[in-house]
C-alpha cells in the first residue's frame, strides 16, 4: 500500500515538473522574443536556442526521472504481490498435503483393524496346497 502511494506521489511530481517546464518554456520564449526584438538582426540565434533548451532541460529530465521511479516502484510492488501470492499458494498446498498425510496416518489403523478377518481367510487358502483336494487327507 505504501509503494502504491509512493508511486502516485512520484507521478504527481512528474506532472508538476512538466507543468514547470511548460512555464519556463513560455517565459523563456517571451524573454527570447523580447531579446530578439531588441537586437533584431544582431541577435545570436544559437544562444537563443541554447537558452531555450537549457531552461526546459532540467524540468524535463526531472519529470522523466520521477516518472521512471514511479514506474519502477509500481513494478516492484507488482512483483512483490506475485511472490506473496505464490508463497500463499505454496503454504496452502503444503498444509493440504500435511492434512492428507495426517488422514493417511490415521486410516491405516482403521484398515488394520478391519483386515484380520480378510487376512485369516487368505491364510487359510494359502495353507492348502494347490494339487491336493481339501477333502483328501
Give per-residue pLDDT as tens, 29-46: 777 777 777 777 676 777
Q: What is the pLDDT of residue 126?
A: 57
Cα distance between residue 81 and residue 83, in whole Å:
5
Statement: residue 19 has pLDDT above 90:
yes
Cα distance between residue 17 and residue 85, in whole Å:
36
Statement: residue 59 has pLDDT above 70:
yes
Q: What is the pLDDT of residue 62?
A: 92
Cα distance between residue 110 and residue 116, in whole Å:
11
How far from the centroid of its chain's Cα atoms is residue 74's Cα?
A: 9
Whether the full predicted model's pTM is greater than 0.85, yes or no, is no
* CA torsion through residues 86, 91, 95, 101, sign: positive
Cα distance between residue 42 and residue 39, in whole Å:
5
Residue owning grid cell 521512471: 68
Statement: residue 1 has pLDDT above 80:
no
Amino acid at each position: 500500500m505504501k509503494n502504491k502511494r509512493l508511486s502516485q506521489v512520484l507521478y504527481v511530481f512528474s506532472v508538476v515538473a512538466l507543468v514547470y517546464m511548460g512555464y519556463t518554456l513560455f517565459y523563456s520564449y517571451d524573454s527570447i522574443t523580447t531579446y530578439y526584438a531588441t537586437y533584431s538582426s544582431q541577435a545570436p540565434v544559437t544562444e537563443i536556442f541554447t537558452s531555450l533548451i537549457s531552461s526546459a532541460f532540467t524540468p524535463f529530465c526531472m519529470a522523466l526521472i520521477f516518472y521512471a521511479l514511479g514506474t519502477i516502484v509500481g513494478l516492484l510492488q507488482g512483483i512483490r504481490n506475485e511472490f506473496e501470492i505464490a508463497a500463499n499458494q505454496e503454504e496452502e498446498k503444503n498444509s493440504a498435503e500435511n492434512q492428507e498425510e495426517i488422514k493417511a496416518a490415521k486410516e491405516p489403523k482403521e484398515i488394520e483393524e478391519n483386515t484380520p478377518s480378510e487376512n485369516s481367510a487368505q491364510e487359510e487358502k494359502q495353507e492348502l496346497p494347490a494339487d491336493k483336494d481339501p477333502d483328501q487327507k
